[in-house]
Amino acid sequence: MQNSPSEALPQDSYGLYRQFTTQGEQSLSQVISYFVERHRIETIYSDSLEKLSKKTTIDLGSFQPGTTKTISEAWRRIGDCTGVLMTEHQKLTHMLDGIVDELSKEQHAQEKALKLLRADVKATHREYSDLRYHTVPKAKSSYYKKCEAAEKEPKETVPGGGTSQKYLKLIKEATLADQVYRSSIHYIEEAREKLHIARQKAKIEGERIEKKRIVTTKRVLGTYCDAEYSICHQRTKEIESLKLYVECVKEDIDVSLHKQDFQRAWPEPDPVY
């Protein structure tokens, strides 16, 4: 038959507390891991955009001085758009650097605070557990055994004679055992109060740590959302501008310019007669 949570062995309470406090640590580690990976991906992407932007600088304009094909203008706008997006993603990369740095500082502060709390709880829990499961039961058992031995021992050596020395010795031992037992009860109450204080401190401080973790995470997520929104807004703006250039592509004009370029590149030979 399994024990209910409320009947869990008190010896396990520190382990349960430590396991509980690792939840916030794990959550923060997951957030940091995400942004570290996001930064890696963003760095690769922004570097790729930079290379792509340079490739689009190739002159695809008309050979005819002073004229440019409409399709070339649209293509050139692609290059400009890529350059703008590259800049935006580079900004995002720098912003992710800041996010990882801020979260790492929060993680360090959280680990430091939890380490102190755990050490305090562990020490008070160990003191209380030793008293409850070893010292007090041992003192109690010794007391009852001494009392039982004294009760079984005849008080007088012979009827009407003096008090038995063995009986007096057993009574003395029982009295000392009683004092030890009472002292252990006093000590365990002190230890229980210490454990209660440590638990309350851990509860209050744990709530403070958790709130700070949530506030910090919320702030960096907000910063990240704003940065992503800025990129989306800028991308939409650039695409809308690019769309106008695409709509302005006139194949008749470009073909006409192509004919002129062809004529200049390979003119008709002059007649020989």
Domain boundaries, the chain: 11-134+202-262
Is residue 38 predicted with pLDDT exceeding 90?
yes
pLDDT of residue 67: 61
Is residue 10 predicted with pLDDT exceeding 60?
no
pLDDT of residue 2: 44
pLDDT of residue 268: 86
Q: How many helices (H) and strands (E) does the chain have?
A: 5, 0
Q: What angle do CA 188, 194, 199 make, to 5 degrees?
A: 125
DSSP character at residue 161: S
Q: For the chain, what percentages of helix, strand and coil (3-state, to nearest 5) are there?
A: 85, 0, 15
9 band by pLDDT with thresholds 50, 70 and 90: very low
pLDDT of residue 204: 96
Could you report the per-residue pLDDT of 191-223, keeping only the tens digit for each? 999 999 999 999 999 999 999 999 999 999 999
Which CATH number describes the domain made up of 11-134+202-262? 1.20.1270.60
pLDDT of residue 162: 66
Average pLDDT over residues 168-189: 94
Place of tokens 């396990």: 12
pLDDT of residue 58: 59
**Most confidently modeled of 57-61, 229-233, 268-272?**
229-233
Q: What predicted TM-score, i.e. pTM, was given to this entire model?
A: 0.76
Could you report the per-residue pLDDT of 46-104, keeping only the tens digit for each? 999 998 888 876 544 433 455 678 888 888 888 889 999 999 999 999 999 999 999 99
pLDDT of residue 264: 83
**Most confidently modeled of 12-16, 74-78, 171-175?**
171-175
Torsion sign across C-alpha atoms 68, 69, 75, 77: positive
Q: Pick 133 or 264 by higher pLDDT.
A: 133
Calculate what percentage of the chain has a pLDDT beyond 70.
Answer: 89
Is residue 263 predicted with pLDDT exceeding 80?
yes
Average the pLDDT over each of 9-18, 23-32, 147-156, 259-268 and give the range with the smallest value: 9-18
pLDDT of residue 157: 64
pLDDT of residue 201: 95
Tokens read off for 231: 């990129």
pLDDT of residue 228: 95
Burial call 58-90: b when 16+ CB within 10 Å, e when fewer: eeebbeeeeeebbbbbbbbbbbbbbbbbbebbb
Could you report the per-residue pLDDT of 112-162, keeping only the tens digit for each? 999 999 999 999 999 999 999 999 999 999 999 999 988 888 776 656 666
Is residue 31 predicted with pLDDT exceeding 70?
yes
What is the separation of C-alpha 23 from the centre of its chain, rounded to a whole number of angstroms? 9
